[in-house]
Structures are given as C-alpha cells and as structure tokens.
C-alpha cells in the first residue's frame, strides 16, 4: 500500500506539504513528492482540493494470523480493593455495543484478591462471561503478574478485541500484553467503532497534544487492543436479571514476578480521583496562594466534585501533583469543569478540553482560557467564588 | 552502573497549530526538541552515575537529524550515544519502535537500568517503555517519581498511581519510565557543549542490530493510521458581562437548565 501523487493533477499548491503531520512531503519540480517518511496516514489526501493524491495498491499483505479464529470482545475489569472502577462500567457499556454489532460475546477479565463476590456485578453490567483470577498473589497491581494472567487467557481463548481503561494500571501493563501477543495497541481512545464485516476496530484518539485526531486500525493482527479514556463512553446500566458465566482461572506463576509492591500510599485522601469526577473545580496561579484554595474545596464540596489544578499551582506547592491536569498531568473529561484563575496554556488545555461544559473565571478578558470556555466570567476569583458558592448552596438547598 | 536512556526527538507540540480553514496542521517553524519527559530520564541517569559511577548511554531511533537530540544529551553530560537510523525503520508504530530499540539495546553490552520518559508528547502513547521492557525480557515499572535505593542487584522506587503512590521493589536490570516529579533537569554545561560540537554520532542500521526486516517500520507495525483530522470545534462560547453577581447568576441558571448541577 502506498500514497501517491497524481502528477498531472497536482497543481503545486503546496497545501499537502503543510498538511502532513510527519513532514513527509516535499516539492520536486513544482509537484508534490512523498518521501519515505510517509506513514500512510492520509492527511494529505483529505487536504488536497484537487484530488491529486491517492492511496494505491491495497497489496495483499500475507496475513500473519488466521484472523477468523479470533472471536469476542473482552474488557479488563479494573478494581481497587474490590471496588469496581467506574471506567470498567464504561468499558462494559462500550464493549456491549461492539459485541452486539459483531454478534458475539462480551467477556470481562477480573484480576485481584477477594473479589469473587463482585464478579456477578460485571454480569449485571453487561458481561456474558467473567474470567475471574482471584488469588492472594494478585492483591497488588503488578506488571508481571497482571500481564501474565491476561496474556495466558488471551492466547488460550483468542478474543478479537481487548479494551482496558487508560488508567495508571491499564497504561502500564496492557502494552506488555500487546508486546507479547505481537499485536496493535492504541492508547487513550475517545471513539471506537467496528466494521461489522471485517471486524476491524476503528480507534480514534487525540494526538499532538490534542491538536489533531487520528483514527487507527490493526488490519492484520488480532486481538485488537485499545486503552480508553475515562468518562468518554457511557457506563453500562445495571440489570440484576442478566445471567452469565463465571469462569475461575487459577493463577499459576509462570515465569518470574520480579517486582513487588512493598507499600501503597493513598494521597487523595477523601477527595475523589479527578479522572472519575463528573464535576471538577480547578485552580491556577490566579488563585493567589494556598490560602485561597479553601474556596475551590468549598465549591467542589457544594457541587459534589473534585479539586484539580494547573502545573503552575502544583509547582507553587499549593496542591499535590496527583491533582494536576494537562499534558504532564492527568487528562480529564468531566461534565463540568470550572477553571479558576487559569490562563489556559495549551499544555493545560490539552488535558481538559474534552470536558462537556467549561466555565472559566479570569480577570483578564484576553486570557486564552476563554477561547475554550463555554461560559466565561470576567472577574476576580476571590470575589466570584464566594458568590458562586452562595448561589449553588441556595439551589442545592 | 551502566544506564541506558531512551530519548525521542519530537516536534514541540505546544507550537503546533491547526489551520481552521484548511483543517491541517501548521508545522512551519515548529522546532524539534527532546521529548520533555526524556529530560527527566537523562537527569536521573546522570545523578545515578554521579552516585554509583559507571556510564550513561543515550539511544534514539529516528531519522538522521535525530542526531541533534543526541548531541544535546551529550551537552548535558551523557557519555555515549547511539542513533538507530535506517529507511527500514520509517513509519514504525510503538510495537515496531520497541522492537528496534530492544534489538539496539541488546547490541550495547551489559546494563543495569534503562530509563525512558513516561510518554512522548507527539503520540502521547506511553507504550514504548513497557513494550521495550517486555522485548528485552526485563521487569518494567511505570511513572517513577523517586528512586529510593539501588543496591545488591535490586532497587526500590516510588511509582505514581491515580490515587497516590506505591513503593515497589524490583530486581535489576529493569526498565523504568519517569514523571516530572522525579527531578529538575540540569542545563547543558559549556564543557558538554564543546564535546557535543565535535561529536561524531554512531549510527546503527537494521543490519547492525540483527533485526528481522519483517518486524521493522511500517511493515512490522500492527497498527495503521487511516485518517487524521482536526478535533470538532467546541460548541457555542459565551463571554458574560455585567456585575459579578449578574454573571454568576447567568452561569448558575444555565448550568441548572442543563441539569449539570
Ligand atoms: C512541557 C510542558 C508541559 C506542561 N504541562 C502542563 C500540564 O500538564 N498542566 C498544566 O497546567 N500546565 C503545564 N505546563 C505549564 C503551562 O505552560 C502553563 O505554564 C501553566 O498551565 C500555567 O498555569 P496557570 O494558568 O495556573 O498560571 P498562569 O499562566 O500564571 O495564569 C494565571 C491566570 O490567572 C489569572 N488571574 C490572576 N489573578 C487572578 C484573580 N485574582 N482572579 C482571576 N484571575 C486571576 C491571570 O489573568 C492568568 O490568566 C507545561 C509546560 C511545559 C513546557
Ligand atoms: N523513537 C524512539 N527512540 C528512543 N526512545 C523512544 C522512541 N520513541 C519513544 N521512546 C521512549 O519511550 C517513551 C515513551 O514514548 P511513547 O510510547 O511514544 O509515548 C519516550 O519518553 C522515550 O523515552
């Protein structure tokens, strides 16, 4: 397969040269020329008004595997101390849709210790089968043991698709599974769709700091693996009447488990993990100091949300790094994001721009945050926040 | 101890903009930089060398101009650099990149630790670290914010999790990825800059690293990018006016109408 310029049609306008995210197009003799840096992404094909670029020769790639042997949609059902993570329910919701389109089963892989009694919850939320690996050796998250369980199961049962949350745990061990299975893995997806005929999973994700979206497929490899962002998929509703099968799998330690968790320290305390919050109240350097952060906490409390921050505020030492949103922090996607005293630097915006509704409070009417805000309040946070807290308290009774 | 650092040259994504008329990326004048997370990896390697002795080798897979990134690492104090560059590597996804890096690392002789960045800011995948570790057959730990101790073929590290951190022990050699919390990268030194200026970067090709050509570059990559497009623009924007009281009233009303609060 290759992307080629139709020389006669090319007008030499150079639009494709700047459209190429990989800098793979040069002008030669007044016409566009595609160099070997091309990744076949097709950005140039879309950019060319003259239809002078085309994809050619869907050459028959010798399929490395018999793709038809792979069936079923799997989700990795993440849990913390027995509590099923909210992203797991979102994966079950999305997985159910994909499985129905493909007329196949949805299975959940559930790994941990003392979690047996929760397996039926996964069935109530849409799973047809639960592979349950419940073992004292699986108490803590460990890359070696978790990837051993999932790789062994996937090798045995050959699922067509494996989804996991783009969480600290998912993003850590899922790539090891993909490496072992020699298959494609797409990180941090926000949209999934399946081609009902080929079974190809179209995985869409942001790249280049959220500046562009890319759709990725693994046409010749199975299982197709993806990690999925929190909060972008709809959680599966609960239906206790659903039935399914729970298959207990013995965890036998093949290979070494070379890493060991000695201690777990929870930092967020009573506040919620910001990735899972529906409402986030975030503060930046414009809060003016740690002494004013109680305003954010108070507002978050009234709304039942969580407190987040910019790198600016984290660097000032006003709040721990685990609350940081942005390129070097967490990516969040709440229903409501209230940005207080935040300038809206691209690195921060990259982590919050997919929020459904954004309210920005900034005293500078030209602050870049206003260009992503649904509603912008121009004013001093120290004046605005107390009024806001008061009004929300009123309507919340 | 011998430490290998994985560095990637990336476009400075904060400078990349979308042309809303043509829906394309504007790359003109966008500088290439060392992936910011890899700066923390380099710094940590240099600090470990200062404590334990040994040497630091920076490895990158990329086009010939990625040699510039390697020179920058030398200016910071890295001892040796290796550029994995070959036309056959072009178009690699994370699987094929990891395979190439693993093959390259195997050529370098004994090592105790491999350090990579948490993720690269162009692709943001965070997959090359764990995949490379797997192909090297060594333990992997992600998101390290502190190395507590290294002794007797073992290390103890602090791993960031979504709700706090874990203290994890691992045998060596191992591969870790690091987050910004771990340190403050140093600036290049004058001496380092001189050394970098005169440096001839060693380049290894597919043949040099005994790579199976079917597993390289576009050919060896399970994933294919089929489409690139700009994100949907955000919906209606409204900058409010009036007194603070009035502005807040409007917002509260709108949020209530949408059942957000
Ligand atoms: C490689 C790299 C990665 C980065 N990653 C991240 C990241 O993950 N997350 C992140 O957040 N940043 C990140 N940054 C930093 C980012 O570029 C910005 O520096 C940072 O987001 C700014 O934080 P801020 O908005 O709190 O502070 P500032 O930019 O200082 O903005 C403060 C804002 O508050 C307003 N203000 C001041 N006083 C008041 C008041 N009384 N009332 C109302 N408004 C007021 C000001 O008008 C201003 O707009 C990164 C930078 C780099 C180079
Ligand atoms: N081409 C490459 N050459 C060397 N190291 C790389 C390369 N790509 C990724 N890495 C390393 O892997 C980390 C994660 O990258 P990524 O999986 O692309 O987000 C980076 O921070 C680098 O340390």
Phi, psi of B175 (to 5 degrees): -120, 130
Ligand nearest to C-alpha B40: 2
pLDDT of res. B18: 66
HSE, side-chain direction, 13 A CA sphere, residue B151: 2
CA distances from B79 to B70, B75, B113, B176, B196 (A): 11, 10, 15, 20, 10
Chosen for mutation from A228, A255, A321, A375 (greatest number of chain B CBs closer than 10 Å) is: A375
CA distances from A66 to A196, A221, B187 (A): 18, 9, 52
Closest CA to B159 of A46, A142, A64, A36: A142
Domains of chain B plus CATH, in order, are 2-215 (3.40.50.620)
Contacting residues for A223 by C-beta, under 8 A, at least 6 apart:
A70, A74, A154, A158, A159, A160, A161, A162, A181, A183
Instruction: Enumerate residues lining ligand 2, CB below 6 A.
Output: B 6-8, 35, 37-38, 41, 60-62, 94, 97, 101, 116-117, 119-120, 123-129
CATH topology assigned to domain A67-248: Rossmann fold (3.40.50)
Residue with the smallest CA separation from ligand 2 atom 18 is B120
pLDDT of res. A61: 44
Strand partners, B133: none
How many whole angstroms from A340 Cα to the centroid of ligand 2? 34
Span(s) in chain A for CATH 3.40.50.620? 67-248
Span(s) in chain A for CATH 3.30.70.20? 2-56
Could you tell me which chain B residue has the CA closest to the CA of A366? B239
Could you tell me which chain B residue has the CA closest to the CA of A374? B237
Q: What is the spatial distance between Cα B120 and Cα B117, in angstroms, rounded to a whole number?
A: 7
Nearest to A217 among B23, B28, B226 (CB): B226
Q: What is the spatial distance between Cα A372 and Cα A242, in angstroms, rounded to a whole number?
A: 42
Q: Cβ of A377 under 8 Å from any chain B Cβ?
A: yes
- What is the number of H-type helices and E-type strands within chain A? 10, 22
Per-residue b/e over A246-262, b at no fewer than 16 CB within 10 Å? beebebeeeeeebbeee
Mean pLDDT of chain B: 92
Per-residue pLDDT band at B27 (split at 50, 70, 90)? low
Closest CA to A324 of B261, B181, B165, B40: B181
Chosen for mutation from B63, B90, B226 (greatest number of chain A CBs closer than 10 Å) is: B226
Q: What is the spatial distance between Cα A335 and Cα A278, in angstroms, rounded to a whole number?
A: 5
Quick: pLDDT tens for B214-243: 999 999 999 998 888 888 777 778 888 899
Cβ pair A211:B95 closer than 8 A: no
Strand partners, A188: none
Contacting residues for A116 by C-beta, under 8 A, at least 6 apart:
A132, A134, A248
* Mean pLDDT (whole number) for A368-380: 94
Q: What is the CATH number of domain A2-56?
A: 3.30.70.20
* Mean pLDDT (whole number) for A122-128: 98
To the nearest whole angstrom, how far is the Cα of B103 from the nearest Cα of chain A?
Answer: 14
Which percentage of chain B shows pLDDT scores above 90? 78
* Displacement of CA B220 from its chain's centroid (Å): 21
Per-residue pLDDT band at B211 (split at 50, 70, 90)? very high
Tokens of A218: 């693994």
Quick: pLDDT tens for A298-337: 999 999 999 999 999 999 999 988 899 998 888 898 999 9
Kindly report the pTM of this predicted structure.
0.86
Residue with the smallest CA separation from ligand 2 atom 7 is B8
For ligand 2, what atom is nearest to the CA of residue B41? 23
Helix, strand, coil shares of chain B as percentages rounded to 5? 35, 30, 35
Q: What is the DSSP letter of B251?
A: H
Q: Does domain A279-396 have CATH number 3.40.50.1220?
A: yes
User: Does A57 score more than 60 pLDDT?
Assistant: no
Ligand nearest to C-alpha A347: 1
Which of 152-191 (A) contact B at CB < 8 A? Answer: 167-169, 171-173, 175-176, 178-180, 182-188
Kind and range of the H or E element at A359? strand A357-362
* Mean pLDDT (whole number) for A266-287: 83
Nearest to A336 among B17, B122, B260 (CB): B260
Closest CA to B124 of A188, A168, A202: A188
Kind and range of the H or E element at B52? helix B36-52
* Displacement of CA B215 from its chain's centroid (Å): 22
User: Does A143 score more than 90 pLDDT?
Assistant: yes
Contacting residues for A168 by C-beta, under 8 A, at least 6 apart:
B142, B143, B160, B161, B162
Tokens of A106: 């949805």
- The better pLDDT of the pair A268, A334 is held by A334
Nearest to B247 among A43, A357, A377 (CB): A377
Task: Give SS3 for B212.
Answer: coil
pLDDT of res. A63: 44
Q: What is the DSSP letter of A236?
A: P
To the nearest whole angstrom, how far is the Cα of A160 from the nearest Cα of chain B?
Answer: 14
* Mean pLDDT (whole number) for A234-245: 95
CA B41, B115, A260, A77 dihedral sign is positive
Assess contact for A390 and A376: CB atoms under 8 A.
no
User: Does B70 score more than 90 pLDDT?
Assistant: yes
Could you tell me which chain A residue has the CA closest to the CA of B153? A258
Closest CA to A59 of B218, B27, B82, B103: B218
Cβ pair A217:B141 closer than 8 A: no
Q: Where does B53-208 have alpha helices with state H?
A: 67-76, 94-106, 128-136, 190-197
Q: Where does chain A have alpha helices with state H?
A: 15-19, 43-47, 86-101, 119-124, 143-157, 168-181, 293-303, 311-315, 346-349, 381-395
Cβ pair A377:B248 closer than 8 A: yes
Nearest to A212 among B25, B254, B258 (CB): B25
* Mean pLDDT (whole number) for A206-233: 90
How many whole angstroms from A342 Cα to the centroid of ligand 1? 5
Assess contact for B182 and B33: CB atoms under 8 A.
no
Span(s) in chain A for CATH 3.40.50.1220? 279-396
Q: What is the spatial distance between Cα A381 and Cα A363, in angstroms, rounded to a whole number?
A: 8
Assess contact for B204 and B61: CB atoms under 8 A.
no
pLDDT of res. B25: 65
Cβ pair B124:A37 closer than 8 A: no
- The better pLDDT of the pair B25, B164 is held by B164
Quick: pLDDT tens for B109-149: 999 999 999 999 888 899 999 999 999 999 999 999 999 99
Quick: pLDDT tens for A24-35: 899 998 999 998
Q: Please report where in the chains the tokens 């040099």 appear, as a residue.
A: B208
Which of 42-81 (A) contact B at CB < 8 A? Answer: 42-43, 46-47, 80
Cis peptide before A182 (omega within 30 of 0): no
Ligand nearest to C-alpha B84: 2
Q: What angle do CA A160, A164, A167 make, to 5 degrees?
A: 160
């Amino acid at each position: 397969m290759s992307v080629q310029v139709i020389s006669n049609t090319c007008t030499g306008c150079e639009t494709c040269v700047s459209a190429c995210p990989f800098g793979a197009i040069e002008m030669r003799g007044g016409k566009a020329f595609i160099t070997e840096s091309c990744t076949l992404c097709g950005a140039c094909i879309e950019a060319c008004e003259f239809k002078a670029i085309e994809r050619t020769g869907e050459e028959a790639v010798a399929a490395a595997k018999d793709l038809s042997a792979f069936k079923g949609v799997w989700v990795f059902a993440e849990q913390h101390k027995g509590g099923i993570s909210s992203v797991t329910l979102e994966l079950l919701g999305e997985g159910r849709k994909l499985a129905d389109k493909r007329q196949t089963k949805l299975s959940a892989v559930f790994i941990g210790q003392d979690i047996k009694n929760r397996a039926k919850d996964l069935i109530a939320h849409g799973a047809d089968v639960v592979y349950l690996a419940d073992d004292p050796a699986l108490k803590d998250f460990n890359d070696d043991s978790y990837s051993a369980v999932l790789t062994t199961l996937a090798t045995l049962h050959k699922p067509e698709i494996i989804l996991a949350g783009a969480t600290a745990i998912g993003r850590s061990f899922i790539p090891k599974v993909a490496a072992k299975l020699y298959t494609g893995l797409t990180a941090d997806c926000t949209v999934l769709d399946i081609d009902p005929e080929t079974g190809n999973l179209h995985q869409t994700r942001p790249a280049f700091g959220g500046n562009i979206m890319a759709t990725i497929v693994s046409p010749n490899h199975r299982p197709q693996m993806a990690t999925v962002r929190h909060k972008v998929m709809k959680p599966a509703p609960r239906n206790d009447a659903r039935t399914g099968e729970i298959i207990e799998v013995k965890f036998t330690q093949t290979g070494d488990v070379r890493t060991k968790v000695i201690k777990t320290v929870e930092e967020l305390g009573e506040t919620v993990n910001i990735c899972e919050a529906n409402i986030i109240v975030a503060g930046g350097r414009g809060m003016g100091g740690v002494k004013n952060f109680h305003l954010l906490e108070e507002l978050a409390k009234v709304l039942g949300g969580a407190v987040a921050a910019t790198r600016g505020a984290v660097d000032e030492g006003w709040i721990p790094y685990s609350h940081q949103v942005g390129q070097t922090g967490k990516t969040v996607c709440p229903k409501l994001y209230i940005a207080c005293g935040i300038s809206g630097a691209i690195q921060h915006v990259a982590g919050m721009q997919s929020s459904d509704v954004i309210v920005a409070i900034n005293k500078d009417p030209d602050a870049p945050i206003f260009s992503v805000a649904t509603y912008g309040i121009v004013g001093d946070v120290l004046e605005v926040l107390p009024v806001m807290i008061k009004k929300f308290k009123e309507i919340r009774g | 101890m011998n430490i290998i650092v994985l560095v990637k040259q990336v476009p400075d994504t904060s400078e990349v903009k979308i042309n809303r008329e043509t829906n394309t990326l504007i790359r003109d004048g966008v500088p290439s930089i060392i992936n910011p997370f890899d700066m923390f990896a380099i710094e940590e390697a240099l600090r470990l060398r200062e404590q334990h002795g040994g040497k630091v080798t920076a490895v990158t897979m990329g086009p010939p101009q990625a040699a510039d990134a390697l020179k920058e690492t030398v200016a910071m104090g890295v001892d040796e650099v290796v550029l994995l560059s070959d036309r056959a590597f072009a178009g690699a996804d994370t699987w094929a990149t990891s395979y190439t890096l693993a093959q390259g690392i195997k050529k370098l002789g004994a090592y105790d630790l491999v350090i990579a960045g948490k993720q690269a800011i162009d692709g943001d995948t965070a997959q090359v670290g764990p995949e490379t570790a797997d192909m090297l057959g060594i333990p992997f730990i992600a998101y390290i914010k502190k190395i507590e101790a290294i002794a007797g073929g073992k290390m103890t590290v602090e791993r960031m999790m979504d709700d706090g951190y874990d203290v994890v022990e691992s045998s060596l050699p191992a591969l870790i990825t690091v987050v910004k919390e771990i340190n403050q990268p140093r600036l290049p030194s004058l001496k380092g800059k001189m050394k970098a200026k005169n440096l001839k970067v060693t380049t290894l090709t597919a043949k040099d690293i005994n790579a199976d050509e079917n597993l390289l570059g576009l050919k060896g990559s399970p994933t294919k990018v089929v489409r690139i497009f700009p994100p949907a623009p955000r919906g209606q924007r409204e900058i409010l006016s009036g007194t603070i009281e009035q502005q807040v009233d409007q917002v509260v009303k709108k949020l209530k109408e949408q059942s957000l609060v």
